[in-house]
Amino acid sequence: MRSQRRIPVAMQRVWMWSVIAFVLTLIVGYAKYRLGTRLYFCNPLTSDRYEDLTEFTELYQTVHTQAFFDGMDGSRVSYPPLGAVVYAVLYATRHPVGFYQTTAALWLAAGVWGVRRRLIALHVGIGIGIGGWAATLFPLSLTLISFPILGLLQQGNIELYLWIFAALGTWAFLRGRDNAAAVLWALAAAMKLYPVVLLMLLLPRRKWRAFAVGVATFVGTTLASLAWLGPTIHTAWQGSLRNVFGYQGESFADWSLHEMTANHSVFNMAKLLGARAGLQPGRLPMIYYACGAVVIGVAFFGRLWKMPVANQLLAVSAFMLMLPPISYFYTLVNLYPPFIVLLLMTLRAERSRVKVTGLQGTLLLFVPLFTCFTLFTYPQVLLFGGLIHACLLIALFVCALLFPFAEPADLPEATALPEAEEVGTLRVECL
């Protein structure tokens, strides 16, 4: 009976290595500080609080005019239309920081409670042996030491709202509510574009109607946002395109330490390879996007199509975070849905004494991804946190292609999806 109360090995390993990584980051950050390294690269949380949230306060006084898109003192809103509208909503509250903090607190509390609930349900349902304290402390402690979460709150970036839409969409998807998932993912995509690839997850289920609903929601929300931003849809469209792609264009030639450290985009690798090959900088983006389209197309339709849902979710999540030319550390919060799915799958497999090849190793790859780039940045030996995180994202993507993360049919709480016989997938209830 005593062994029944043991915390599962997979959970122990994630917990232990996460704490070790956090402690090592503190030690390394302090050592770098004593050696005279710039404070930001010792502790990124020392930067101005909520700087992304408060940056456009004055600019939004010109909303609905051409001046809004022209910018003010070099400051431009480089977000797609819905993202720009979200800023307007925050500023309209008169207390954007307080509203942002409240949203974050409620969202994180709901996330911790939801994971706790699932862990306790595992204990009650299949006897893994996770008590209330462990089920509470595990998600709470990982939240408190997660650098992507802490960095996101420090910056005050609207990625928080994208994360909410995208994660709720994934939750709906895993519970078979495809139309709701499509709408939520489309709203996330209308804020920052890259979550649009999540809609691909609907295709193996042959949910064409839900996919069309997602596309229609994306287009409709974008048009409505453009109409509101004004002064005309045409003016807002041109201004948004110029600012969004102009901002991305600036990163194409950015070789700053900040970019190599905080940006985990694979594009940084492409820039290094392109420079070594003598490729003209103007041609690189087109080649890069074309290669990205080929990679995800071949991987998804050639390999992932008939693989379990967990593989599809992991691969698409990793891909959407490493493809954009600008993908800073706080976007890694979008890895938590596949992380939770794989964690719960690992616990169920462990209890049933079933080995799912590659699952525990893949789960541990999340630990360094949720760790501050300070631990991996040593310019003297040409090591940069952004490049390390990009390699880890590639590793996650490859693991999703190599190891089928299917739960055994006899495991409790694994319920066949509609059309599961055609798709070869199982539903995993994550919350």
Report how far residue 420's alpha carbon sits from residue 311's, in angstroms, rounded to the nearest whole number: 15
Q: What pLDDT digit, counting tens, does each position of 343-357 carry?
A: 999 888 887 788 889
Report how far residue 123's alpha carbon sits from residue 328's, in angstroms, rounded to the nearest whole number: 37
Share of the chain above pLDDT 70, in %: 89
Q: Which two tokens stand for residue 42?
A: 């010792």
416 — pLDDT class (breaks 50, 70, 90): very low
The number of domains in the chain is 1
Per the prediction, the chain carries an average pLDDT of 88
Q: Which two tokens stand for residue 328?
A: 């800073």
Give the DSSP letter string of 183-215: HHHHHHHHHHSGGGGGGGGGTTTT-HHHHHHHH
Report how far residue 337's alpha carbon sits from residue 340's, in angstroms, rounded to the nearest whole number: 5
Report how far residue 317's alpha carbon sits from residue 188's, in angstroms, rounded to the nearest whole number: 13
Q: Mean pLDDT, to the nearest integer, of 362-387?
A: 95
Look up the domain containing 122 and give its range: 2-428
Report how far residue 190's alpha carbon sits from residue 218's, in angstroms, rounded to the nearest whole number: 6
Q: What pLDDT digit, counting tens, does each position of 40-50 carry?
A: 899 999 888 99
Report how far residue 197's alpha carbon sits from residue 193's, in angstroms, rounded to the nearest whole number: 9
What pLDDT score does 423 carry? 33
Q: What pLDDT digit, counting tens, does each position of 20-39 carry?
A: 999 999 999 999 999 998 99
Q: What pLDDT digit, counting tens, does each position of 264-318 carry?
A: 999 999 888 887 777 776 678 888 899 999 999 999 999 999 999 999 999 999 9
* Cβ atoms 10, 363 nearer than 8 A: yes
What pLDDT score does 252 carry? 67
211 — pLDDT class (breaks 50, 70, 90): very high
16 vs 23, 118, 367, 371, CA distance in Å?
Answer: 11, 21, 10, 13
Q: What is the pTM of this model?
A: 0.90
